Amino acid sequence: MWDLEKTSVEMQYGKFNSYTKDNSFTVSQSIAFPTVYINQSKLADAKVKSSEWQLKGSRLETATMVKQVYWQLAFLHSKQKLLSYQDSLYTGFLRAAELRTKVGETNKLEMITARSQSMEIKNQLRQTVADMDILRRKLQTLLNTDVLYSPADSILKRIEYTPLIDSMAVAQNPSLGYVQQQVQVSQIERKLEKSKMLPDFSIGYSSQTMVGTQDVNGVSRAFGRGDRFNSVQVGVAVPLWFVSGNSKNKAAKISEKIAKTNAESYSKELSGSYRSLLDEYSKYSGSVEYYEKQAIPEANLIIDQSTRSYKSGAMDYFEYVLSLGRALDIKQNYLDTLNSYNQTIINIEFITGKIF
């Protein structure tokens, strides 16, 4: 990119050659050493790339927030379904307990217990619905739309994920790309400052009148306003005062070292965060496997067997509620773990620069 100095145009009119009024104009242009323009062009390209990395980073942040909200909504949908199931169970218990209390088949403790459990579940259900509304509003803002969307995945499931090779995992992270690009920017800035200490050039063209009689090779000739005398000027500007240039060059070298240090530090930080998230992924993955293969089938069996025993009279109300609560807690813990697993995957995808 040729960032030339402004072209100078000067005009003159008056008695500057003789008693007769003449006119002249001069056009001149200062030109830096060619390497200055080469480095300016490289610097402009490097800064464009920096801006592109920043744009990618903004897109990644927005996409990550959308994914986080989306899968949190899917989690709340599943939680709502589980709470609705519990609500229907405890509402039925409450009606039965109230009826038995009226006919004197049981004491009030059973009724009070059933009522407190029913009200607690209803309260959790209201809070969950409110949280869903809040997240839908947040999703609406992130998508910049007038529509309130709900996730198509109303049943929480695992996000598919395959771990990457550690050395290549964070290479596409936009923030890392930006800080690494800043190293290149600082290097070119240093070269630019150094090239500015080289000589500058100037070139100019001048044209003027010299009205009157002039001696040309021993012969007198009369020149009018239509006759013009032209000339070309060429100059070289050499810096004699190096203190300012040296200071700028030293400052550029320091900026380059800082940029390199920042890039190396951020790269290590990202790699460390990636390995930590992989540890979380391994932890939650094993836990989800346990719930899906063992805990959830056992919870379903507990609910089925307890319900049959309670209906047949082989189990009293309090034993039934205790067994049922244990099984439902397992189901809720599974949802919590699965949600943590998905959010960990989203965080990993953020570090690895994956949008979709």
CATH number where 97 lies: 1.20.1600.10
- Least confident piece of the model among 104-108, 120-124, 190-194: 104-108
Percent of the chain with pLDDT over 70: 93
Do 147 and 15 touch, CB atoms closer than 8 A?
Answer: no
- What is the DSSP code (8-state) at residue 107? -
Residue 206, domain member (yes or no): no
Using the predicted structure, report yes or no on whether residue 10 has a pLDDT greater than 70.
yes
Residues contacting residue 293 through CB under 8 Å, at least 6 positions apart = none
For the chain, the domain total comes to 1
Instruction: Report the predicted TM-score, pTM, of the whole model to 2 decimal places.
Output: 0.83
Residue 335, domain member (yes or no): no
Over the range 257-282, which residues count as b (16 or more CB within 10 Å of their CB) and which as e? Answer: eebbeebeebbeebbebbeebbebbe
- Least confident piece of the model among 67-81, 217-231, 258-272, 326-340: 217-231
What tokens does 247 get? 């200071």
201 phi, psi to nearest 5 deg: -120, 155
* Local confidence band at 1 (pLDDT 50, 70, 90 cut-offs): low
* Local confidence band at 337 (pLDDT 50, 70, 90 cut-offs): very high
At 293 the pLDDT is: 95
- Choose among 353, 354, 175, 169: nearest CA to 278: 169
Residues contacting residue 338 through CB under 8 Å, at least 6 positions apart = 75, 156, 157, 158, 288, 291
Vertex 146: Cα angle to 142 and 149 (nearest 5): 65
Using the predicted structure, report yes or no on whether residue 164 has a pLDDT greater than 90.
no
d(CA 224, CA 334): 102
Using the predicted structure, report yes or no on whether residue 162 has a pLDDT greater than 90.
no
Using the predicted structure, report yes or no on whether residue 251 has a pLDDT greater than 90.
no
Percent of the chain with pLDDT over 90: 59
Vertex 247: Cα angle to 241 and 251 (nearest 5): 155
Residue 343, domain member (yes or no): no
- Least confident piece of the model among 70-74, 102-106, 155-159: 102-106
Using the predicted structure, report yes or no on whether residue 113 has a pLDDT greater than 70.
yes
Residue 156, domain member (yes or no): yes
Using the predicted structure, report yes or no on whether residue 170 has a pLDDT greater than 80.
yes
Using the predicted structure, report yes or no on whether residue 218 has a pLDDT greater than 70.
yes
Do 162 and 127 touch, CB atoms closer than 8 A?
Answer: no
Structural domain that includes position 99: 32-199+238-269
Residue 53, domain member (yes or no): yes
Residue 255, domain member (yes or no): yes
At 196 the pLDDT is: 86
| 283 vs 325, residue with greater confidence | 283
* Local confidence band at 110 (pLDDT 50, 70, 90 cut-offs): low
Using the predicted structure, report yes or no on whether residue 302 has a pLDDT greater than 80.
yes
Residue 4, domain member (yes or no): no
Estimate the crossing angle of helix 243-290 against helix 317-351, to 10 degrees. 150
Using the predicted structure, report yes or no on whether residue 314 has a pLDDT greater than 90.
no
Residue 123, domain member (yes or no): yes
